[in-house]
């Protein structure tokens, strides 16, 4: 049996998963996760502001898809036992946006915010479902682009991403 030094033991932190099981997390990974969550939230706000400047009415989408029942359902809220806070914004996609295109006619799109612009396989399937069931006329993926000293938001239609799928 190997005995760990006190310095090695301080590298890990004990946390509890949603199901109550114990998990050991490296403290450096925890710091990286906090930074990623923070920068992701800031980028979401930048995307929202950008869409509003372009004339869209933007709201947080708080629904998700249940593939078993083939329906749109309210997204499950997540509880953080340490901060005693319920997280509401866990729907897919992140935003729903409306824009008036004619008299009493609106264009309705979904916007998923990803700093790197990469969707998981499950997220791509959800996008296909939304488009096939005509929930949205279009779904855009917002990606962060760095140009010299500026940050820019680039929108990629999900149809382009789906075409690249195998």
Q: Render pLDDT for 27-69 as a digit per residue (tens, 0 to 9).
A: 666 666 677 777 778 889 999 999 999 999 999 998 999 999 9
127 pLDDT more than 80: yes
Region 90-103: what's the mean pLDDT? Answer: 89
- Residues near 52 by beta carbon (within 8 Å), at least 6 away in sequence: 58
For residue 117, which of 78, 146, 90 has the smallest C-alpha distance? 146
At residue 85 the predicted structure's pLDDT band, cuts being 50, 70 and 90, is: low
**Whether domain 6-164 has CATH 3.40.1350.10:** yes
């Amino acid at each position: 049996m190997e005995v760990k030094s006190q310095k090695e033991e301080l590298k890990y932190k004990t946390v509890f998963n949603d199901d109550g099981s114990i998990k050991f997390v490296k403290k450096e990974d925890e710091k990286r996760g906090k930074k990623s969550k923070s920068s992701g939230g800031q980028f979401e706000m930048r995307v929202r502001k950008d869409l509003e400047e372009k004339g869209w009415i933007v709201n947080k989408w708080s629904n998700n898809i249940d593939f078993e029942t083939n329906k749109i359902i309210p997204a499950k809220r997540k509880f953080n036992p340490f901060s005693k806070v319920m997280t509401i914004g866990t729907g897919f996609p992140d935003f729903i946006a409306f824009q008036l295109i004619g008299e009493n006619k609106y264009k309705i799109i979904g916007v998923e915010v990803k700093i790197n612009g990469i969707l998981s396989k499950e997220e791509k399937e959800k996008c296909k479902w939304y488009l096939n069931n005509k929930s949205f006329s279009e779904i855009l993926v917002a990606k962060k682009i760095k140009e010299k000293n500026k940050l820019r938001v680039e929108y990629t239609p999900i149809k382009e991403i789906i075409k690249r799928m195998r």
